[in-house]
Structure 1
Amino acid sequence: MHVPDGFLDAPTSIATGAVAVAGIAVALRGARRELDDRTAPMAGLVAAFVFAAQMLNFPVGAGTSGHLLGGALAAVLVGPWTAALCLAVVLLVQGLLFADGGITALGTNISLFSIVAVGVGWLVFAGLRAVLPTRLSIVPAAAGVAAFVSVPVTAAVFVGLFAIGGQAPVPLDTMLTAMLGWHVLIGVGEALITGLVVSSVVAARPDLCFGARPALRARREALVASTGQQAAA
């Protein structure tokens, strides 16, 4: 879903660039509350994983390509603000060193990946976590659902931007069909990958998964309460 140079007109690219700058500025402040001795090394690993996964592109038609987004995965593992920064760094390196996405479209790509994909993924995950039982076993499933939802929503936002300022000679209905149709399928793959990765982390080191911390804290509190009741008996 990397947007190349010239795919959107200058006003749209400038507007999304401003959104990206504002979003990263907010993320820099928010990440201070998330980053600690556990999250900082994990952020580097997450960025490396997403970078490698996004390099595997395949065409989906209408001049666009598909690949793993990684927004929900990063948000669940390291927190939404840190995830936004991870995705922005990945996009910057891809654009500057590998010509994956355009330089003039960098703001658009950051807005789509770092803000929309991460934001939607985290909101869906947090919403599911709020209504489902607070258990570690719920975390991978909620992360998978969040990943699935984030992909077509991000694709839909891109189509909306194309409707506003698209410059490529592609009919809007063709773009909509190609992007949403294929990205629903991509969302299924992303859900599976996200669920498996989060499940592996939660099984091995749940303390390293940002999204699992409330469940881990609840389990510890329940264990303390149970120990206290046994001691009192």
Structure 2
Amino acid sequence: MHVPDGMINLPVSAAAGVVAAGAVAVSLRGARRELGSGPLAEGHGAERTAPLAGLVAAFVFAVQMLNFPVAAGTSGHLLGGALAAILVGPYTGVLCIAVVLLMQGILFADGGLTALGVNITVMGVVTVIVSYGIFRGLLRILPRGRRSVTVSAFVAALVSVPAAAAAFTLLYAIGGTTHIPVGKVLTAMVGVHVLIGIGESAPLKLRVGGELVDAPAPAPVAAASTRSPRGLLAAGLGTALLLAGVVSFYASASPDGLEKVAADKGIDRKVEEHAAADSPLADYGIKDISNTRLSGGLAGMIGVGATVVVGSGIFYVVHRRRTPANPPLSTGRS
């Protein structure tokens, strides 16, 4: 659902950018608490929590490369907002998706640069808020147990994707650069993204040799307290590299939900060429490497590595700036 430049006009894109910037600023403050007291911390410092949060961002980057078929001529990919929110909390989750979208836009020409605020708002803020709210709400009313957690996560992921599609439609209604009836856009966007939402909440399937097979499962980041940090990081990073570097070759080549709706309804008539279209990694391939499998695999692995480094660096700084739990005693006179 990466919105390209030119689909939403500049005033609305700028307004969405302000919303996204505000959400990121709030998330930076909230993430300080999550990284210091969440399930990733367990009494450890930034040396542990920052790389693990960065790993979540890298995994989201990897799974977004895995388009899966959802209908004739249409594919979808996980947005990752629900996954990030449930694993690391809503504030850190917003930052994870923002880092992923930034890497995709700058390095891979995926999602417009002027539309970055739109994409963070739609794919990051909306999906995280909706999914986390549903997840926590269901856990409060369902019986305690692992099955309730599974059901809550499934419903949260399922609803968050069409919610993001509806949010995009709202922005299009306000600032779309083409004049297509909003009702048609909403029906098409929500319809196809309900199917993608099912894929978001179900085990990931990819088409290999004409058959649907299960993609490798993610490393159990949420179970960080039961494994050594190094072992968890190695397993998680290895899984992300495997997905982006190898499994992505078998992803569906069909246009994703937004691309398909845009082409069918004509809302892409004024889309502009990406400012980073000449990037060496544009379109998830490395220029001058003719072997498609090798080019795409190396590009995906570079993306995972860049996301881990940038994400971990940001989360390290955020965690280190957290207010000390035990401030020094006052030396004032009594």
> Does the C-alpha gap of structure 1 residues 44 and 110 become closer, same or farther in structure 2, counting only changes over 3 Å?
same
Consecutive unaligned residues of structure 1, counting only runs of 5 or more, are 209-233
Residue type at the aligned position of 1:201? P
Cα distance between partner residues in 2 of 1:92 and 1:171:
31
> Does the C-alpha gap of structure 1 residues 153 and 50 become closer, same or farther in structure 2, counting only changes over 3 Å?
same
Greater Cα radius of gyration, structure 1 or 2 = 2
Percent identity reads 60
Shift of 1:52: 1.3
Q: Residues 39 and 78 of structure 1 are in contact (CA less than 8 Å); yes or no, is this contact kept in structure 2?
A: no
Give the SS at the match of 1:137: helix
Matched length: 203
Give the SS at the match of 1:167: coil
Which TM-score applies when normalising by structure 1?
Answer: 0.78
> Does the C-alpha gap of structure 1 residues 116 and 174 become closer, same or farther in structure 2, counting only changes over 3 Å?
same
Give the SS at the match of 1:110: helix
Cα distance between partner residues in 1 of 2:193 and 2:165:
7
What is aligned with 1:88? 98
- Runs of 4+ displaced beyond 4 Å: 57-61
What is aligned with 1:205? 223
What is aligned with 2:144? 134
Is the aligned partner of 1:44 residue 2:54?
yes
Cα distance between partner residues in 1 of 2:75 and 2:184:
14
1:84-112 superposed Cα distances (whole Å, 9 cap, x missing partner): 00000000000000011000000010111
Cα distance between partner residues in 2 of 1:128 and 1:67:
25
What is aligned with 1:11? 11
Shift of 1:206: 7.0
1:39-75 superposed Cα distances (whole Å, 9 cap, x missing partner): 43332221111101212347999xx974211101110
1:190 to 190, 200, 207: 200
What is aligned with 1:56? 66
Q: Tell me how large the CA RMSD over aligned residues is.
A: 2.7
Is the aligned partner of 1:22 residue 2:22?
yes
What is aligned with 1:97? 107
Shift of 1:176: 1.7
Is the aligned partner of 1:155 residue 2:173?
no
Q: Residues 125 and 146 of structure 1 are in contact (CA less than 8 Å); yes or no, is this contact kept in structure 2?
A: yes
Cα distance between partner residues in 2 of 1:154 and 1:207:
32
1:146-181 superposed Cα distances (whole Å, 9 cap, x missing partner): 000101111001101101100146443332222111
Cα distance between partner residues in 1 of 2:217 and 2:69:
25
Q: Residues 34 and 82 of structure 1 are in contact (CA less than 8 Å); yes or no, is this contact kept in structure 2?
A: yes
Consecutive unaligned residues of structure 2, counting only runs of 5 or more, are 36-40, 205-215, 227-334
Shift of 1:140: 2.1
Cα distance between partner residues in 1 of 2:129 and 2:79:
12
Q: Residues 70 and 196 of structure 2 are in contact (CA less than 8 Å); yes or no, is this contact kept in structure 1?
A: no
